[in-house]
Amino acid sequence: MSSDNTPVKRLNGIGSEIITKIAILAAFSLFLSTVEYMIPKPLPFLRIGLANLPIMVGLALFSLPEYLILVTLKIAGQGLINGTLFSYIFIYSAGGSIASSLMMYFLYKLFHNKISYIGISLVGAMTSNSVQLLLAQYLLFGSSIWIIAPPFLLMGLVSSILLGIFVNHFTGRSRWYSSAVEFSGLNGKRGRDEISHAET
């Protein structure tokens, strides 16, 4: 165990600037999750997925281990702030987030020149919702959960398209994002393409 008096400089070989970016996006995800928590929902597990916005922004900025740290921070932070860290809700959140994040990451890395953030967001939402439905079937509801699957998936479809549109705009116009992409050096070309596209 490291000392509490040591600043977080490096984590498994990850530099402090990257750690700062991860922590900022994780905090932003937590902020959006809190905003979403305050929005009334017809059923407690129906989510808009606002907290996934920073997760999608992180696709172009981080390597897989860094990206997984961001996702883990998002899940743990949400569990802590909503007080659900030791409950079934946490299992849903973790299952959906991990599956969708991995799916989005690999989709982005393999096809980022062929698919927009709308498509990535859509696939991520469908993956997350499907995993959550499966978990709900086995943990709480039984097979009758599939009765609410159509509206659940439909809501995921609509919110993920809106989220994808927003991420497209954000990544095209954000100065913070463009400098972060340049810094990461992972997908600099894509980042520059997006910026020049937005400028034109």
Minimum CB distance to another protein smaller for 147 or for 154: 147
Residue 12: CA count within 13 A, CB half-sphere = 6
Virtual CA dihedral for 77, 69, 131, 142, nearest 10 degrees?
A: -40
In angstroms, give the least distance from the CB of 162 to another protein: 13
Vertex 183 angle, CA 108 and 75, to 5°: 55
CA dist., res. 85 & res. 77, Å (int): 9
Task: Give me 113's structure tokens.
Answer: 């020149």
In angstroms, give the least distance from the CB of 110 to another protein: 28
In angstroms, give the least distance from the CB of 171 to another protein: 10
Minimum CB distance to another protein smaller for 8 or for 154: 8
Vertex 22 angle, CA 189 and 167, to 5°: 55
Task: Give me 131's structure tokens.
Answer: 């995993």
Minimum CB distance to another protein smaller for 144 or for 200: 144
In angstroms, give the least distance from the CB of 61 to another protein: 12
Instruction: Provide the binding-site residues for another protein, judged by CB under 8 A.
Output: 1-2, 4-8, 11-12, 16, 19-24, 26-28, 30-31, 34, 40, 42-44, 69, 72-73, 76-77, 79-81, 83-90, 140-145, 147-148, 169-170, 173-177
Minimum CB distance to another protein smaller for 79 or for 107: 79
